[in-house]
Amino acid sequence: MTANNRIVLSSDHHGLQLRQAIAAHIAAQGWVAVDIGPTTRESTDYPRQGEAAGRLVASGDCRFGVILCGTGQGIMMAANKVKGIRCGVCADTFSARMIRRHNDANMLSMGVRVVGEGLALDIVDAFLTARFEGGRHAARVAMIGTLEG
């Protein structure tokens, strides 16, 4: 585990239950779950939740972020607008491993209407246990950074 063991969790109104399951799952592995809500099922704007989570990761306050909305797509788009964020939507464990290994992703997004809880927890595990491979991938990740304003 890295020195910073904080993972920010965020979602829109679709994600409350799965977010709580992820929080318990990662806490059992020694991670600190920084859950920034929402705490009710009242309609919530995913761009605000994605941005807030992205800022906590980009600032270094949290090592990783796991974010959820209905499809995982909208909140991912918002998070990726924060400088320094590399977030991918995953609905399978292979992609979750690869966005860490090749893309050095620092955030994972999932669709609550796409994946069930069991698969979502496996995807989280695949993401958190994979390591960035560096080398030729580091140069490409740096190229992504040059696209940021």
The residues annotated as belonging to the active site are: 69, 102
Q: Closer CB to ligand RB5, residue 11 or residue 106?
A: 11
**Is 43 exposed, middle or buried, given 0-12, 13-18 or 19+ CB atoms closer than 10 A?**
exposed
Q: Closer CB to ligand RB5, residue 5 or residue 73?
A: 73
CB 16 within 8 A of CB 39: yes
The minimum distance between CB 140 and ligand RB5, in angstroms, equals 27
Query: Per-residue x/- marks for ligand RB5, 44-83, CB under 6 A?
Result: --x----------------------xxx-xx---------
Contacts to ligand RB5 by CB under 6 A: 12, 14, 46, 69-71, 73-74
